[in-house]
Chain A
Amino acid sequence: MSTLDVGAYSPREKGVVGLLGALGALLLIAVVTGFLAPAYLLYLVGLSAMYMLLSMGLNVQWGYGGMINFSVAAFFGLGAYGTALLTASGSPISGGVSPVIALFGGLALAAVLAVIIGYPTLKLRDDYLAIASLGLAEVVRIFILNESQWTAGSAGLTGIPLFFSDWPVLGDLTYPYVFYAGGTPVFNMSQSVVTSFLNVVLVTVIVAAVYLFLRRIHQSPWGRVLRTIRTDEDLAETLGKNTFAFKMQAFVIGSLIMALAGVFYSHLVLFVSPQDLQPITTFYVWVAVILGGTGSDRGAMLGGFTIVAIQQGTRFMTDTGALPIGAAPLRLMLVGLLIIFIVRLRPEGILPPERELIWPDSLGGGRDE
């Protein structure tokens, strides 16, 4: 093994960026030629970003600190239900709260649950969190399914407003929205395109903010202690680090990011049901993190994107009639194949962490990430 790269972008990252650029160009062409509806493309972007958030959240827990959390779907679901219960017109509890405030409701729910599940298990060895979280995801899902007086049960919650619904300008656009340049109408957009576009703007801001936040806390003494805990918790203890506190912080942060994905999902799809909390979501996110490169934020984002590409790409292929079998089995088969390929060829993932966790500014000028 050679020395670890401490410089800027590695060749591998450049390759991935190139590949993504090509894919983006392809999608754009598909839109321009009318092969793909613009609103649908924007929806796909939103969905990818949501998976990126979920993967980044799990990466904080598993990639930074080595904590095995099998209840990604539960934290995602709490975010989604938290905001939905507060804002939706069909909510059996309150409804009508502004999404901007409800956002914090979803986050608070997730944080409380993270502390409740983390407190007893993070003091123990890794496996206990795995076991407890495995059960937790199902407990949350079945609770939502059965306690219909609070959650509307299996019917799900309808009437969730758009995130910007009560914003001054963005909330009361009239449709079709006409875009003027110098007094002449340039193009008009249907409501679905405008709302999808706003969603993409929202999620881009969220993903960017989360990424920048994570980059700062990861490449720091804090991230370094977690990396030490991941390889050897006893070692971190002997060096005077309160490993429980560090793990708890990472666990809560990761859970909050997952809940953020859930909040966004609610306002993207405008409908949530217990179906959204199926364990398969957790499974997909794990695949995303491992595929992307455990411990790397960029890897987690790439992994999240790849999962959506497989999920939606297979759907797209069945629509064109190019497939002899249905999309659902094909999707699972592709994911299975992907896992085998990773384990055989790139056990460390596509973009494994390559950087030292040292505060970048202290390494002398010019070395930005």
Chain B
Amino acid sequence: MSEQSLVSDGPVLGKTDPVLRAEGLEKRFGGLVATDDASIEVERGTITGLIGPNGAGKSTLFNLVSGFYEPDAGSVSVNGVNVTGQKPHEIADQGMIRTFQTPRKPEGMTVREALLVGPHNQTGESIIPLFTSPSTVEQEERRSLEQAQQMLERFEIGDLATQPATDLSGGQMKLVELARGMMAEPDLLLLDEPVAGVNPVLADKLAGFIEELNEEGITFLIIEHDMNFIMRLADPIIVLNQGSVLVEGPPEAVRSDERVIDAYLGGPSE
């Protein structure tokens, strides 16, 4: 970081221990350049915020690093492993779990059932062990069930365990998504607008939970439009504009940075 300003022009690269590193990502949809030479690094142990005006390419960047879009150029690595062009499930296996902007409601599932999908590489996910080693499956299921209950209780929604997941409010669903993500024991959680449409009280709680999990070693990369939420939680904050990284720096400095203000005022809204 430069001496003159706390805010770096463009991304801060060369961090000591990045969980996620994306370099020169590019994605075009026909003539539209959604992501243009975007590079970011997410340092282990941080809560990194990703902000930017509408259409800046935040969600596209999420889709690129999580494998839902294939980049036209650039590379992505998670925990030092190059995952460029891999399938979403292969990237998830490397320890990076994402959530979606609109919560995905698992129809016909109870909350705890939805949570039990989280753990990676369950023995019972293969057919043969269901018959050859049912006791292993049973033990794993018991453990996962306990873990799910603890997770729900931690997020203060323990009473919802056997409720149909479709009956939850938007805010509760966000908590369930977070809990399900945690069941996968990720190194890095990518949250796409975790407090969009969530009432302020629950948003506050959610921020508290994220801080707690962060202290326990989970790294976060969060897209959020709610400035109070993200400024309180994240450090550093990466500002995306027109498909590439405009600046990166600590929240107070980013907030008052001329370039950021210009980008937001020049954009369609905020």
Interface residues of A (CB under 8 A from B): 1, 3-4, 6, 216-217, 220-222, 224-225, 227-228, 231-232, 234-243, 246, 249, 253, 295, 353, 356-359, 361-363
Contact = CB atoms under 8 A, between A and B. Distances in A.
B90 to A, nearest CB: 8
Contact of B88 (A1, A232, A238, A363): A238
Interface string B98-120: 11100011111110111011101
B106 A235 contact: yes
Given A3-B163, A4-B162, A362 B141 contact: yes
A362 B142 contact: yes
A4 B114 CA distance: 13
Contacts of B162: 3-4, 6, 356
A228 B117 contact: yes
Given A222-B127, A249-B127, A356-B110, A3 B164 contact: yes
A239 B117 contact: yes
B68 A234 contact: yes
Interface string B124-160: 1111001100100111111001000000000000000
Contact of B106 (A232, A295, A363): A232
B97 interface: yes
A217 B127 contact: yes
Closest 6 CB pairs of A and B: A362-B141, A221-B124, A240-B92, A237-B88, A359-B141, A221-B122
B109 to A, nearest CB: 6
Given A6-B162, A241-B89, A242-B89, A235 B104 contact: yes
Given A224-B116, A231-B105, A238 B127 contact: no
Interface string B167-196: 100000000000010001000000000000
Nearest to B162: A3
Contacts of B67: 237
B205 interface: no
17 contacts: A1-B166, A1-B167, A4-B110, A217-B127, A221-B123, A224-B116, A225-B125, A228-B106, A234-B104, A236-B89, A237-B67, A239-B180, A240-B120, A356-B162, A358-B112, A359-B141, A362-B137
Contacts, number: 128
B15 interface: no
A363 B97 contact: no
A228 B87 CA distance: 17
Given A221-B122, A231-B105, A358-B116, A238 B98 contact: yes
B97 A239 contact: yes
A270 B99 CA distance: 55
A233 B66 CA distance: 14
B130 A217 contact: yes
Given A3-B164, A4-B164, A237-B88, A221 B104 contact: no
A237 B117 contact: no
Q: Which size class do B's interface residues fall under?
A: 35 or more
Interface of B: 66-68, 87-89, 92-93, 97-100, 104-110, 112-114, 116-118, 120-127, 130-131, 134, 137-142, 145, 162-164, 166-167, 180, 184
Given A225-B125, A242-B87, A358-B112, 4 more contacts: A235-B104, A239-B184, A359-B137, A363-B145
Given A221-B141, A356-B112, A239 B118 contact: yes
B134 to A, nearest CB: 7
Contacts of B184: 239-240
B109 A356 contact: yes
Contacts of A1: 164, 166-167
Nearest to B139: A362
Contacts of A228: 106, 109, 114, 117
A220 B137 CA distance: 8
B142 to A, nearest CB: 4
A246 B118 CA distance: 15
B193 to A, nearest CB: 15
Contact of A361 (B105, B110, B118, B138): B138
Contacts of A236: 89, 117
Nearest to B107: A231
A6 B134 CA distance: 20
Contacts of A217: 127, 130
Contact of A241 (B110, B125, B127): B125
B108 A231 contact: yes
B92 A239 contact: yes
Contacts of A235: 100, 104, 106
Contact of B130 (A216, A246, A253): A216
B66 A238 contact: yes
A217 B130 CA distance: 7
A221 to B, nearest CB: 4
A227 B108 contact: yes
Contacts of A361: 134, 138, 141
A33 B139 CA distance: 55
Given A217-B127, A224-B116, A356-B113, A362 B107 contact: no
B109 A227 contact: yes
A156 to B, nearest CB: 36
Contact of B108 (A225, A249, A353): A353
A221 B137 contact: yes
B130 A222 contact: yes
A358 B106 contact: no
A273 B156 CA distance: 62
Contacts of B134: 361
A99 B84 CA distance: 51
A4 B87 CA distance: 34
B89 A237 contact: yes
A359 B124 contact: yes
A242 B263 CA distance: 40
